[in-house]
């Protein structure tokens, strides 16, 4: 049975680790959001010319420190799914077999830009098995670097596996400059198939004086 992957932002899609091939320009967008069920994500590398609409913005600031592959970078909590799991850097088969993976070179948890997390839906612990149950307003918490970031889901959608715009700093808009922190969760869709991607999108919640990188204040859970 094939298995799927996920990103944060209430939409539905899956993405493979970003790793530009030799000769490719830094920050190039991959040509497909791969599914771990069919092949290692690391095998889905973007061709040198793969940039729909010629996006120029890098996935994440070039000066940002990059964690090692497989390194634990955060812990995610999703009350709606009764899910609490660590998040590791990378989206290779080996990393995703342990649970959830952070798409390399997307924004770090809590920072301005698009932080993308993928997970299987029917295999390898199936952390995103019930991702489709997420609703607008649901809370997602990320604990990283000793700080806690709270996000609220604002959208959910199903997209084609070839739609790599979900990885943009502003999801689905390569030409826009990121000014807020977004979390995108991605997994395969429907269950047992890798034909499409289920994507959930969430925005970081900040207090009155909140600033990027500061601890976010949880908002009251919608009834």
The residues carrying an active-site annotation are: 120, 188
Query: Any residues with CB less than 8 A from the CB of 57 and at least 6 apart, and which?
Result: 27, 168, 169, 174, 175, 176, 177, 178
Rg, C-alpha atoms of the chain: 16
> Which residues share a beta bridge with 76?
85, 142
> How far is the C-alpha of 47 from the C-alpha of 3, rounded, in Å?
24
Alpha-carbon distance of 72 to 69, in angstroms, equals: 9
In angstroms, the Cα distances linking 63 to 50, 59, 60, 86, 119 are 23, 12, 9, 25, 27
Cis peptide bond upstream of 22, omega within 30: no
CB 73 within 8 A of CB 87: yes
């Amino acid at each position: 049975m094939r298995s799927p992957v996920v990103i944060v932002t209430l939409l539905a899609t899956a993405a493979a680790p970003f790793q530009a091939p030799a000769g490719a320009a830094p920050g190039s967008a991959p040509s497909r959001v791969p599914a771990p069920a069919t092949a290692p994500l690391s095998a889905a590398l973007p061709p040198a010319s793969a940039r729909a609409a010629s996006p120029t913005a890098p996935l994440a600031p070039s000066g940002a420190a990059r964690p090692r592959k497989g390194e634990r970078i955060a812990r995610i909590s999703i009350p709606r799914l009764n899910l609490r799991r660590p998040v590791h850097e990378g989206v290779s088969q080996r990393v995703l077999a342990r649970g959830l993976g952070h798409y390399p070179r997307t924004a770090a948890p809590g920072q301005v830009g698009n932080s993308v997390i993928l997970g299987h839906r029917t295999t390898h612990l199936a952390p995103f098995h019930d991702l489709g149950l997420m609703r607008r307003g649901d809370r997602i918490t990320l604990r990283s670097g000793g700080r806690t970031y709270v996000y609220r889901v604002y959208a959910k959608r199903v997209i084609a596996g070839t739609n790599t715009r979900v990885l943009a700093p502003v999801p689905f808009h390569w030409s826009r400059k990121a000014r807020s922190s977004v979390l995108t969760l991605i997994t395969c869709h429907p269950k047992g198939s890798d034909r499409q991607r289920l994507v959930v999108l969430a925005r970081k919640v900040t207090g009155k004086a909140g600033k990027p990188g500061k601890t976010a204040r949880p908002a009251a859970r919608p009834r």
